[in-house]
Structure 1
Amino acid sequence: MEDIQETIFNLIDQTGWLAPVIFILLHLLRPLLFLPVVLVCMAGGYFFGLVQGSIYSIAGLSLMSAVFYLIVNHFPRFRDRIARLKKKVFQDREITIGQVMVLRMLPFVHFHLLSLYLMEMTRNFREYMIFSILGIVIPAVLFTGFGHLLLELTWGMTVLLVGLLAVIFFYLGKRAERPEKRIPKKSLSS
């Protein structure tokens, strides 16, 4: 096993600048290969370290979000498929941008489904990319740096972590549903 690991590290060293490019492109191919986001980010942390692996994962996931936006807008049938999945999973539930950010931290939630939510909540490509990148940073760093810890947690700790994220998710939803208290304006001409 150590020989394989050493061979892989030597290969990465020999490829130089091409290794990060291949890793970033792996994020684009990830959905076609049915690889979970957490697995690819963990590989980035393992092979490139926390800082570089996080940067490469953020770049790859951002590029994938941009490509998804373009594909969805050029292929309506694909958009309809994702919309049907959204309806099946969330049953027409409205969620907030904050809730999308929390859901991005859960490794088993469909990445493109959340991207569709962001597309529907934003006005244009620029705004979509801003929120998409903001929603990618924390999970990319978390999965890259601490992904191996998430896999080694006991079931009890895993349930506790998922429960905590669920509480935050529902709190953000309730907070968005509360109507703002408006203070009536006093007339200046009294």
Structure 2
Amino acid sequence: MNKRKWLLFLVIAGLALLLWWLNKQHLQLAPKDVKNWVLQFGLLAPLVFLFLSLFRPFVLVPLTVFSLSAGLAFGSVLGTIYALVGATAGASGSFLLATTFRSKKKDTESSSRKLRAVTSRIQEHGFLYILLLRIAPIHFDFVSYAAAASRANYRAFTAATFLGLIPGTVALNVLGSSFVSGNYAALAIVCLIYLIFISVPLILKRKMPELF
């Protein structure tokens, strides 16, 4: 990695740490906080939400906070659309950034055992494995960085991320919007469907152990 890339990396890392510290010490963002702040921008609220979603991975704010806030702010339909687009954009940004600073030589000895296991399976199974990881309740940003480390195809990564996010995003947005509308019957149905979706990786773990 040349000096320019190192300098850019240090600047980004410094800004991320600063924003994370501000969030941890002063903001402590909750879904309601994000909703209230975004809606202050009126017609520009969706664009502001998408902009924040793009940089969310770099300040270590959990994805669930943004998914719930989308449902609170925009309702179950528009909230799901904005949350899906924003989460996919944020994942793509993490992937591209990690790809930029990725070492040209594989450093498996310094990598964690978990990272090595995930990257090797992404290299073998690509789209399918990324899709399963997105459906399963696994650390969202870790999967993005692991995919970059495994040199996954960008288009396959983006498509798998978008499709795999749909069940969880729908459930979280309905959860958020239900607190506003009081439609708990719809919430129960969607949560049941989501539980079925996240059971798929567990079933495949028995049927296709080589994936896991």
**Unaligned residue ranges in structure 1 (runs of 5+):** 150-160, 179-190
Equivalent pair of 1:99/1:172 in contact (CA under 8 Å): no
- Alignment CA distance shift 1:127-1:8 (3 Å): closer
CA shift for structure 1 position 20: 0.7
Equivalent pair of 2:136/2:198 in contact (CA under 8 Å): no
Cα distance in 2 between the residues matched to 1:103 and 1:114: 7
Question: Residue 28 of structure 1: which of 29, 45, 54 is its match?
Answer: 54
CA shift for structure 1 position 84: 3.1
Cα distance in 2 between the residues matched to 1:17 and 1:172: 44
Amino acid at match of 2:143: L
TM-score normalized by the length of structure 1: 0.62
Cα distance in 1 between the residues matched to 2:176 and 2:36: 20
TM-score normalized by the length of structure 2: 0.56
2:78 aligns with 52
Cα distance in 1 between the residues matched to 2:55 and 2:147: 21
1:133 aligns with 162
- Alignment CA distance shift 1:45-1:147 (3 Å): closer
CA shift for structure 1 position 115: 2.4
Question: Residue 134 of structure 2: which of 100, 104, 107 is its match?
Answer: 104
Amino acid at match of 2:111: R
Cα distance in 1 between the residues matched to 2:69 and 2:151: 32
Amino acid at match of 2:134: R
- Alignment CA distance shift 1:63-1:131 (3 Å): same
- Alignment CA distance shift 1:37-1:105 (3 Å): farther
Cα distance in 2 between the residues matched to 1:91 and 1:73: 16
Supply the RMSD in Å over aligned alpha carbons.
Answer: 4.1
CA shift for structure 1 position 73: 1.4
Matched, 1:92 2:117: yes
CA shift for structure 1 position 176: 2.7
**Unaligned residue ranges in structure 2 (runs of 5+):** 1-31, 179-192
Task: State which structure, 1 or 2, has the greater radius of gyration over its C-alpha atoms.
Answer: 1
Cα distance in 2 between the residues matched to 1:104 and 1:70: 18
Equivalent pair of 1:27/1:60 in contact (CA under 8 Å): yes
Equivalent pair of 2:134/2:165 in contact (CA under 8 Å): yes
Per-residue Cα deviation, 1:12-67 (whole angstroms, up to 9, x for no partner): 2x633321111112212222332211111101100110111111111111111221
Per-residue Cα deviation, 1:81-117 (whole angstroms, up to 9, x for no partner): 9x935x34x662647655644543555x321222245
2:5 aligns with none
Q: Secondary structure at the match of 2:61?
A: coil
**Length, aligned pairs only:** 157
Q: Secondary structure at the match of 1:76?
A: coil
Return the structure number with greater relative CO, CA threshold 8 A, min gap 6.
Answer: 1
Amino acid at match of 2:51: L
